């Protein structure tokens, strides 16, 4: 029994994915000469965990990928070898890079949504309010990642859009046809794809947290409008990621004159600051209280296609989707028919 709960099988008897001992290093064997072969060590380690990551819950998959075994460069290289098996197209994952779902039709997969990450920009920056119905509330040309009606990555851009513009707003997305019969299993494949897209020696996979700056959680999922309104008022004046204060005096003075503020919050130009603040807080709290319940794990286990808090600049969405579309993501074992000499002869060419 492996430490991951799967019986250890004699892979040599069931798996023809063997290599020359020297295939990973040095040899000048003449073509066609026989020699000792061995199971690829990366495949061996993966095979002791599962034959198909799309059948596993994401917490187990992340725990494996972050373990010493899962961080082994040989394992990471094997995860990027989907086209090297006997069915090179069986792991191709379809991607629509120009999806535009309605935010109210989507549901979260992570079980925490941060208040500050949902309101910080929208309640401090007029420009953000104006961008709320553009498809990208950040104004930076960013897209969230979805799989059907599930938000896979970009939860706070999704919740920020809902907070300001309500459930009817559209949002720009990359929609991925992730395999798996549940949200958790789709997330597992996404995590394997991210690991496959990174250099084999990258260590742990990217992660992010929903914890507030003070260390506690400011999760809003499952909370009612009144409670969320009190949470918003409690952070009034705090400096957001925008470097501007939440519901600051300049913001309140300008938002009542803004067509976007009038449209999304029901403001009028003659409102004073207190009236405007109360109206905005009521609308935003009401919108956020209607976010659907989650279908996935804590945010620490969620896929971070852009590197999250831990790997910024070391992986990006385009890299991951390219791996998916090419069939390189080795999320399931299909070794039958593999030519065990393929790696050797490819190196000789």
pLDDT score at 136: 97
pLDDT score at 15: 38
Phi, psi of 15 (to 5 degrees): -130, 110
Please say whether the beta carbons of 241 and 124 come within 8 A.
no
pLDDT, tens digit, 9 for 90 and up, residues 111-151? 999 999 999 999 999 999 999 999 999 999 999 999 999 99
Q: What 3-state DSSP class applies to 310?
A: coil
Alpha helices in the chain (DSSP H): 11-14, 41-47, 58-65, 68-71, 73-79, 115-119, 126-131, 155-165, 183-197, 225-234, 249-255, 259-265, 273-289, 317-326, 342-348
Q: Is the pLDDT of residue 255 over 80?
A: yes
d(CA 13, CA 2): 18
Average pLDDT, stretch 236-249?
97
Most distant CA pair in the chain: distance in Å? 88
| Whole-number CA gyration radius for the chain | 24
Q: Is the pLDDT of residue 202 over 50?
A: yes
Structure tokens at 40: 């690829």
Residue ranges covered by each domain of the chain: 95-185+208-289
Spatial neighbors of 349 by CB under 8 A, at least 6 apart, are: none
Q: Is the pLDDT of residue 192 over 50?
A: yes
Instruction: Using DSSP bridges, classify how beta strands 37-39 and 18-20 pair: parallel, antiparallel or unpaired.
Output: antiparallel
* Band (84; pLDDT cuts 50, 70, 90): confident
Query: How much is the mean pLDDT over the chain?
Result: 84
Q: Is the pLDDT of residue 25 over 90?
A: no
pLDDT, tens digit, 9 for 90 and up, residues 1-17? 455 555 444 443 333 33
Structure tokens at 8: 């250890």
Please say whether the beta carbons of 240 and 120 come within 8 A.
yes
Average pLDDT, stretch 295-307?
89
* Residues in a beta bridge with 174: 145
Measured CA distances, 301 to 27, 67, 145, 205, 268 (Å): 42, 14, 16, 10, 43
* Band (21; pLDDT cuts 50, 70, 90): very low
pLDDT score at 10: 43
């Amino acid at each position: 029994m492996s430490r991951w709960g799967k019986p250890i099988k004699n892979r040599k008897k069931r798996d023809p994915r063997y290599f020359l001992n020297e295939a990973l290093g040095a040899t000048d064997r003449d073509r066609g000469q026989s020699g000792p072969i061995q199971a690829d060590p990366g495949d061996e380690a993966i095979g002791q965990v599962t034959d198909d990551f799309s059948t596993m819950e994401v917490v187990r998959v992340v725990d494996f990928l972050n373990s010493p075994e899962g961080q082994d460069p040989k394992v990471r290289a094997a995860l990027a070898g989907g086209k090297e098996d006997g069915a090179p197209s069986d792991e191709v994952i379809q991607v629509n890079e120009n999806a535009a779902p309605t935010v109210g039709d989507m549901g979260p997969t992570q079980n925490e949504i941060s208040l500050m990450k949902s309101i910080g920009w929208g309640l401090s920056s007029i420009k953000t309010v104006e961008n709320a119905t553009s498809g990208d509330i950040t104004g930076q040309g960013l897209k969230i990642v979805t799989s059907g009606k599930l938000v896979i990555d970009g939860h706070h851009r999704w919740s920020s859009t809902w907070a300001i513009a309500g459930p009817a707003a559209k949002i720009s997305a990359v929609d991925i046809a992730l395999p798996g019969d549940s949200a958790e299993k789709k997330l597992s494949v996404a995590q394997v794809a991210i690991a496959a897209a990174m250099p084999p020696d990258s260590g742990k996979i990217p992660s992010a947290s929903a914890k507030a700056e003070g260390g506690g959680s400011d999760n809003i999922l499952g909370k009612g409008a009144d409670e969320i309104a009190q949470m918003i008022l409690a952070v009034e004046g705090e400096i957001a990621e925008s470097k501007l204060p939440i519901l600051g005096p300049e913001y309140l003075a300008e938002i009542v004159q803004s067509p976007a503020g009038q449209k999304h919050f029901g403001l009028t130009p003659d409102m004073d600051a207190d009236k405007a603040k109360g109206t905005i807080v009521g609308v935003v709290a009401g919108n956020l209280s209607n976010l659907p319940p989650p279908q996935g794990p804590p945010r620490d286990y969620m896929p971070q296609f852009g590197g999250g808090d831990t790997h910024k600049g070391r992986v990006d969405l385009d890299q991951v989707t390219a791996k998916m579309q090419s069939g390189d993501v080795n999320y399931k074992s299909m070794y039958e028919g593999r030519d065990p000499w393929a790696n050797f002869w490819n190196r000789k060419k």
